[in-house]
Amino acid sequence: MTHKIKLILVDDHRIFRDGMKALLVDQSDIEVVDEASDGKQLLDILNQTKVDLVILDISMPGMSGIETTKLISEKFPAVRVMILSMHTNDEFVFKATQAGAKAYLPKDTSKTELLEAIRCVAQGAEYFSKSISDSFLKNAIQRSRAENHLMTNEDLTLREIEILKLVASGITHKEIADMLFISPKTVDAHKNHIMQKLKLKNTAELVLYAVSHKIIEVK
């Protein structure tokens, strides 16, 4: 008998979890063994239930999906994590993979791609949707050049560059803090240092600077 891929669905919206279960119920090789509404609940389940795969959202109450992914990687290394999120910004993708995610798909992905991703990840491979992969590769060289300029000519640190990109992308201080495992106050302090070094007066100028210097791409 073929081994079933046992997975847990994690999203704070019940209607989304129900929709996902409806998509997967007719798949003979996939079994949704449990579901959770946040990271803490998921970790409690993982302490008692053996699964192959967890499908996580990024934005959740309490722990973010990235923070949860990091904890899963540390405590349950055999469990593979797939991110399914409306956030497709390069920085989210990068931070999620850094934390240990093996797949990243947008929430508007097709059923065909979702199933392909689940099966790929369960077999030990990684999977990133085409739209995310194309965007990530396209911007990699451009970002590298922009970052080198900031370090050489503007005396920004790697952490300040990281926060500059996240703030300019419209990500909240709380979300940035969760992604980087620091406090929102520390994010704010870094942002103030960045604005002083670049001689910027407000967030709007910071965003314009990031766009004009190709630190972020407007999609």
In this structure, what CATH number is given to the domain that contains residue 116? 3.40.50.2300
Q: Quick one: which of 102, 106, 71 has its CA closest to 85?
A: 106
Q: How far apart are CA 85 and CA 92, in angstroms?
A: 10
User: Tokens 């309490």 label which residue?
Assistant: 62
Which domain-ending residue is among 106, 128, 150? 128
The residue type at 217: E
Other C-beta atoms within 10 Å of 50: how many?
10
| 134 domain-assigned | no
- The answer to whether residues 108 and 88 touch, using CB atoms and an 8 Å cutoff, is no
Q: How far apart are CA 76 and CA 78, in angstroms?
A: 6
Tokens found for residue 69 = 């992914």
| 100 domain-assigned | yes
| 219 domain-assigned | no
- The answer to whether residues 58 and 16 touch, using CB atoms and an 8 Å cutoff, is no
Q: How confident is the model over 95-105, as pLDDT tens digits?
A: 888 889 999 99
Q: How confident is the model over 164-212, as pLDDT tens digits?
A: 989 998 889 998 998 888 999 999 999 999 999 999 999 999 999 888 8
- The answer to whether residues 131 and 17 touch, using CB atoms and an 8 Å cutoff, is no
Tokens found for residue 192 = 């103030």
Res 1: pLDDT: 46
Q: Are residues 25 and 111 in the same domain?
A: yes
Q: Into how many domains does the chain fold?
A: 2
Which domain-ending residue is among 128, 150, 173? 128
- Taking only Cα atoms into account, the Rg of the chain, rounded to an integer number of angstroms, comes to 19
Q: How far apart are CA 118 and CA 83, in angstroms?
A: 11
| 67 domain-assigned | yes
Q: Domain limits at 68?
A: 5-128
Q: Which has the minimum average pLDDT: 143-147, 150-154, 200-204?
A: 143-147
The pLDDT of residue 130 is above 50: yes
Q: Which has the minimum average pLDDT: 72-81, 145-154, 206-215?
A: 145-154
Q: Residue 163 belongs to a domain with what CATH number?
A: 1.10.10.10
Which domain-ending residue is among 101, 128, 155? 128
Tokens found for residue 160 = 């300040």
